[in-house]
Amino acid sequence: MAKDLSKVRNIGISAHIDSGKTTLTERILFYTDRIHAIHEVRGKDGVGAKMDSMELEKERGITIQSAATYASWKDVDINIIDTPGHVDFTIEVERALRVLDGAILVLCSVGGVQSQSITVSRQMARYRVPRIAFVNKCDRTGANPARVTEQLRDKLELNAHLMQLPIGLEGDFEGLVDLITMKAIYFDGENGEILREEAIPADMAAEAEEKREALLEEISMFSEELMESLLEGGDIDPQLIHDAVRRGTLALEFTPVFVGSAYKNKGIQPLLDAVSSYLPCPTDVVNHALDLEDDEKEFPVSNDPDDKLIMLAFKLEDGRYGQLTYVRTYQGMLKKGDTVYNSRTGKKVKIGRLVRMHADEMEEIDSCGPGDIVALFGVDCASGDTFTAEGISASMSSMHIPEPVISLAVIPVDNKAQNNMSKALNRFTKEDPTFRTYVDHETGETIISGMGELHLDVYIERMKREYSAAVEVGAPQVAYRETITMQAAFDYIHKKQTGGSGQYGRVAGYLEPLEEGEYEFVDEIVGGVIPREFIPSCDKGFQKSMAKGSLCGAAITGVRAVINDGNSHSVDSSDVAFQLAAQGAFKEAYMKAKPVIMEPIMKVAVEGPTEFQGAVMGSLNQRRGMIIGTMEEGNYTVVEAEVPLSEMFGYSTTLRSLTQGKAEFTMEFATFKQVPKSVSEELVKKFQEEKRND
Amino acid sequence: MGKEDLISSNPLRVLGLDNKAEEGRQSLGLVMARAGLGKTAILVQIALDSMLRGNRVLHVAIGETIDKTRDRYDDILAKMVEDLNEEAESDLSRRRMIMTFKENVFSRAMLEERLQDLIEQDVFKPDCLIIDGYDFDGNGRQAMEDLKQLMAELGISVIWFSAVSHREDPRVSADGVPAPCHTIDDLFEVVLLINPQDNVMKLDILRCAYCEVEPGTALLLDPSTMLIQKS
């Protein structure tokens, strides 16, 4: 029997680090009977929260990889992906958002909306993910859910409204007032599992009435029936209110805000009700696939179990039993033993085992259908691959993947470590498209690159722990780029005739800056002056030249190589000869094309007490930072700046000492910009010295 | 249009403020309009003109976010100049800084403290200040005179404000400056009023101490882009 998709919710839980996402997920699993005991993230019982299944995560108390899990609340099936909070891991957040239909934005009631929440919110907007907000940690000193709601409106520009009022705050946080039912809810029992409804405390009645009125007025925008009902006066059907909130939320025009304390077991069950009531089901959201047989034309997926299967592999994990692939099904059914096709490779894949994941435990299932998020066993693929049934050639739209900005050398200490490191790197690059690796042919070193220091740190730790790969690590290096700024012609002959068969190839044309993309090869050869079979050799030669620029040894990007003339020799021309001719031609034209060095620029946001604002701005300024602006919020200020990544190493230590540890910062990649002349000269000089020493 | 052309052909030249700034004279400017008519768009054009002339502009946005304010600059710059190269754009961005405050927390003392911070840390020394969203209803002549004094202390040559006028408030000064600025209009060297009329948007020059055009002259605004045009 086909599953009722209106009873399915695929949700993400994302927010700022330390806002309590993992604890919240743990409680959700507890109340939905997926686990039978509660363990804290950094708990004394040494078990750790269920969702932090990786050892490292348990140790650091942060969530690094999103673990998918399934829960059931009343009659609704909820697939939850717990997502990491640090910017360095945003590819995880982005992937989760790509496959989810809705999200809970978790905020700390003390810290409120912080820079990472802004980043996450932007990502949610990019993927048009409807969200509800949960203001957690209402039991903490300084808790102020009203202020956080205001920040959601001011900083994230969300039409956010409290759906509940807290009864007491900080140490006195007892329960909450539901502004729809106008009842007070208390959470009794050892783990808050018994909900007790009471009348609203007398001293809160007036406030509750006032807030309810404001809420109803706001959401009546989304429902004519509700508006009429309000105008008529009298009792209002709660279902009308729920419908209006749902409509506003799905249209991304309203964000209902819930309050609670996951740690104190308060407010979770009403939040689960809200997930069921207000977040979309798979059919509420239109997802698109690309038709690979029709010039990648977009078409909406059907959500119909009877249609041909389309599913997306959005996450890979290496478990004890081999590769575990998390997939989201968009249409069609997948059964154990089915054969599917990988759209990217065209390879047939037989589905052996199908499981529903619950953090690091699994439940065997026989089939899955539209809207389901499940995991497959033993399927060889990369993250982002699409699987389809036979007879349909489609791919889910590609994901936005940022370029890595930092790299470092990893050197295995012995042969065993070398083997283990290779296995680990092979795995990590499949799991995470923002993590890249290559061998520097000149130094023979293995270089890993990624989105930040912490990102690479985590992989190095995983290499050591999970793969026993003992490695030494070089200093982090900024991923500079070289690019050209003007057109330059080349006309190069590669000729070698010293005994035996010779080598001959002539290529002529020009290099020019390419506005978008890394490299483009244009063949304008007419009359076969370069035989067809050697055209790919020219392309290959240019691409080889792009690997390392002659200014500072960085990879070259943004080049269009056009060939329009050449010559060949009936005996001496070969693939190698034309590759070398193209390399010579590139070298000839490159310096004439006025190359420049580009560096990654990071968007940095520093938040801290206003008294340190001057010092913070000074510190960013000293780092070649361009202060974009400051945002003053009472005693707290956010300074936003664009700073070259090369200047940000060690900034956390500087910031700590400047602000007595009271400020924090986040950074994310913004763009590549040309380095100033002085820096460029220094980089060129350093590269020349290195070359001399080699 | 090149940068030089953009500067010389800018209709704002008629206000004659830049020559006075070069002579070391300090001025206050005011853009008034009813709510939602585009005061910020005018202020941003004034700021961009100043930046193109090589000045540094501090844009104080009260009750607005950094991103939104920045977007305003990007949008208007894109409308003013079709293809500005990356270097020129980056150079322009370095001449601007945005400071946002919540409506109820902005004060002269706070602004002074922030400006001192910027100057002492050698981060940014503005030549021109844009204050968008200043509360003229809640602050009187003394507050404005205080700001004028601050300007002198910090060597700022011009401050531009925006103010909201209300249709239902008929009060005006002798020069036609509407409430709530009608009693302090003598403090401003220039007062502009966005004046929508039938199918045209006019930018009336109500006061202009150094004007190079006849009093009563109006500039025109392109209603779709809000770019200032010559009348």
Question: Tokens 């997502």 belong to which residue?
Answer: A83
pLDDT at A63 (0 to 100): 45
Domains A288-396 and A406-478 fall in the same CATH topology = no
Alpha-carbon distance values, B63 to A39, B50, B231 (Å): 43, 23, 33
> Please, is A380 exposed, middle or buried when counting C-beta atoms within 10 Å of its C-beta (0-12, 13-18, 19+)?
middle
Mean pLDDT score across all residues of chain A: 84
List alpha helices for A332-414, DSSP H. Answer: none
Q: Which range, A5-14, A85-94, A333-342, A390-399, is most confident?
A: A333-342
Answer whether residue A134 shows pLDDT above 90: yes
Chain-chain contact of A154 with B102 (C-beta, under 8 angstroms): yes
Model pLDDT for residues A208-260, shown as the tens digit of each residue: 999 999 999 889 989 888 888 888 887 888 899 999 999 999 999 999 999 99
Domain locations along chain B: 3-229
Is residue A621 within 8 angstroms of chain B, CB to CB? yes
Partners of B122 on chain A (C-beta within 8 Å) are 618, 621
Alpha-carbon distance values, B200 to A604, A615, B206 (Å): 43, 49, 18
Answer whether residue A27 shows pLDDT above 70: yes
Nearest CA-CA distance, residue A424 and chain B, Å? 40
- Give the DSSP letter of residue B8: H
Alpha-carbon distance values, A60 to A42, A56, A325, A522 (Å): 8, 6, 25, 50
Model pLDDT for residues A371-408, shown as the tens digit of each residue: 888 888 888 887 778 899 988 888 886 555 667 778 88
Domain locations along chain A: 5-284, 288-396, 406-478, 482-593, 598-679
List alpha helices for A337-452, DSSP H. Answer: 415-431
Answer whether residue B107 shows pLDDT above 70: yes
What residue type is A500 in one-letter code? G
Closest-CA residue in chain B for A157?
A: B65
Chain-chain contact of B124 with A627 (C-beta, under 8 angstroms): yes
What whole-number distance in Å separates Cα of residue A5 and Cα of residue A331? 11
Q: Which residues of A326-349 are buried (b: 16+ CB within 10 A; e: fewer)?
A: bbbbbbbbbeeebebbbbeeeeeb
Give the HSE-up count for residue B89: Cα atoms under 13 Å, Cβ half-sphere.
16
Model pLDDT for residues B189-218, shown as the tens digit of each residue: 999 999 888 778 888 888 888 777 776 778
Element (H, E) at A297: strand A297-300
* Closest by Cβ to A628, choosing from B66, B116, B117: B66
pLDDT at A608 (0 to 100): 82
pLDDT at A16 (0 to 100): 66
DSSP three-state, residue A205: helix
Which positions 625-664 of A are in contact with B (Cβ < 8 Å)? 626-634, 640
What whole-number distance in Å separates Cα of residue A580 and Cα of residue A584? 6
Partners of B131 on chain A (C-beta within 8 Å) are none
CB A11 within 8 A of CB A319: no
* Closest by Cβ to A617, choosing from B101, B102, B117: B117
Chain-chain contact of B110 with A632 (C-beta, under 8 angstroms): yes
* Closest by Cβ to B100, choosing from A617, A627, A629: A629
Nearest CA-CA distance, residue B158 and chain A, Å? 20
CATH value of A5-284 in 3.40.50.300, 3.60.150.10, 3.40.640.10, 3.40.50.720: 3.40.50.300
What whole-number distance in Å separates Cα of residue A325 and Cα of residue A687? 42
Partners of B86 on chain A (C-beta within 8 Å) are 673-674
Nearest CA-CA distance, residue A468 and chain B, Å? 46
Give the HSE-up count for residue A505: Cα atoms under 13 Å, Cβ half-sphere.
24
Tell me the mean pLDDT in the region B167-179: 90
Is residue A603 within 8 angstroms of chain B, CB to CB? no
Task: Tell me the pLDDT band of A64, cut-offs 50, 70 and 90.
Answer: very low
CATH value of B3-229 in 3.30.720.200, 3.40.50.720, 3.40.50.300, 3.30.1050.10: 3.40.50.300
Task: Tell me the pLDDT band of A427, cut-offs 50, 70 and 90.
Answer: confident
Instruction: Round the CA-based radius of gyration of chain A to a whole number and report it.
Output: 29
* Closest by Cβ to A617, choosing from B68, B86, B123: B123
Model pLDDT for residues B62-80, shown as the tens digit of each residue: 988 888 899 999 999 988 8
State how beta strands A348-350 and A297-300 pair: unpaired
pLDDT at A478 (0 to 100): 86
Q: Does the model's ipTM exceed the 0.95 cut? A: no
pLDDT at A340 (0 to 100): 92
Closest-CA residue in chain A for B89?
A: A673
Model pLDDT for residues A285-326, shown as the tens digit of each residue: 888 888 888 777 888 888 888 999 999 888 877 666 677 888
CATH value of A482-593 in 3.30.1360.120, 3.10.580.10, 3.40.50.620, 3.30.230.10: 3.30.230.10
Answer whether residue A548 shows pLDDT above 60: yes
CB A546 within 8 A of CB A585: no
Q: What is the 3-state secondary structure (H, E, C) of A310-347?
A: EEEEEEEEEECCEEEEEEEEEECCEECCCEEEECCCCC
Q: Which fold has domain A598-679?
A: Alpha-Beta Plaits (3.30.70)
Question: Tokens 């500067």 belong to which residue?
Answer: B7
What whole-number distance in Å separates Cα of residue A418 and Cα of residue A424? 10
Tell me the mean pLDDT in the region A117-123: 69
Mutation to test the B interface, candidates A115, A153, A630, A671, most B Cβ within 10 Å? A630
Task: Tell me the pLDDT band of A38, cut-offs 50, 70 and 90.
Answer: low
Model pLDDT for residues A451-484, shown as the tens digit of each residue: 777 788 888 988 888 888 888 988 888 889 999 9
The class of domain A288-396 in CATH terms is mainly beta
Partners of B93 on chain A (C-beta within 8 Å) are 626, 628
Is residue A193 within 8 angstroms of chain B, CB to CB? no
Answer whether residue A171 shows pLDDT above 70: yes
pLDDT at A669 (0 to 100): 80
CA B30 to chain centroid, in Å, comes to 7
Nearest CA-CA distance, residue B47 and chain A, Å? 15
- Give the DSSP letter of residue A39: -
pLDDT at A163 (0 to 100): 94
pLDDT at B88 (0 to 100): 81
CA B223 to chain centroid, in Å, comes to 19
Tokens standing for A488? 């330059």
Chain-chain contact of B65 with A613 (C-beta, under 8 angstroms): no
Chain-chain contact of B99 with A632 (C-beta, under 8 angstroms): yes
Mutation to test the A interface, candidates B59, B60, B66, most A Cβ within 10 Å? B66
Closest-CA residue in chain B for A640?
A: B66
Tell me the mean pLDDT in the region A558-569: 93
Partners of B97 on chain A (C-beta within 8 Å) are 627-630
Partners of A150 on chain B (C-beta within 8 Å) are none
Nearest CA-CA distance, residue B126 and chain A, Å? 13
pLDDT at A80 (0 to 100): 84
pLDDT at A502 (0 to 100): 85
Chain-chain contact of A614 with B66 (C-beta, under 8 angstroms): no
pLDDT at A62 (0 to 100): 43
| Nearest one of A544, A542, A547, A545 to A563, comparing CA atoms | A542
This prediction has a pTM of 0.65
Q: Kindly provide the residue ranges of all beta strands, DSSP E only, lying in chain B, ordered along the sequence.
A: 27-34, 57-62, 96-101, 128-132, 158-165, 190-197, 200-208, 218-221, 228-229
Chain A to chain B, count of Cβ pairs less than 8 Å apart? 65
Chain-chain contact of B100 with A632 (C-beta, under 8 angstroms): yes
Model pLDDT for residues A135-160, shown as the tens digit of each residue: 998 988 888 999 999 888 887 878 99
pLDDT at A92 (0 to 100): 63
pLDDT at A361 (0 to 100): 67
Answer whether residue A507 shows pLDDT above 90: yes
Instruction: Please provide the distance, in angstroms rounded to a whole number, between the alpha carbons at the two ends of chain B.
Output: 20
Partners of B124 on chain A (C-beta within 8 Å) are 627
Chain-chain contact of B122 with A626 (C-beta, under 8 angstroms): no
Chain-chain contact of B70 with A674 (C-beta, under 8 angstroms): no
What whole-number distance in Å separates Cα of residue A125 and Cα of residue A244? 21
Q: What is the 3-state secondary structure (H, E, C) of A476-530?
A: CEECCEEEECCCEEEEEEEEECCCCCCEEEEEEEEEEECCCCCEEEEECCCCCCC
> Please, is A172 exposed, middle or buried when counting C-beta atoms within 10 Å of its C-beta (0-12, 13-18, 19+)?
exposed
DSSP three-state, residue A442: coil
Answer whether residue A61 shows pLDDT above 50: no
CATH code, A406-478: 3.30.70.870
Partners of B65 on chain A (C-beta within 8 Å) are 154-155, 157, 631
Task: Tell me the pLDDT band of A448, cut-offs 50, 70 and 90.
Answer: very high
Nearest CA-CA distance, residue A626 and chain B, Å? 7
Model pLDDT for residues A402-411, shown as the tens digit of each residue: 677 788 899 9
The number of residues making up chain B comes to 231
Answer whether residue B231 shows pLDDT above 80: no
Mutation to test the B interface, candidates A622, A628, A675, most B Cβ within 10 Å? A628
Partners of A630 on chain B (C-beta within 8 Å) are 66, 97-100, 114
Mutation to test the B interface, candidates A117, A632, A637, A674, most B Cβ within 10 Å? A632
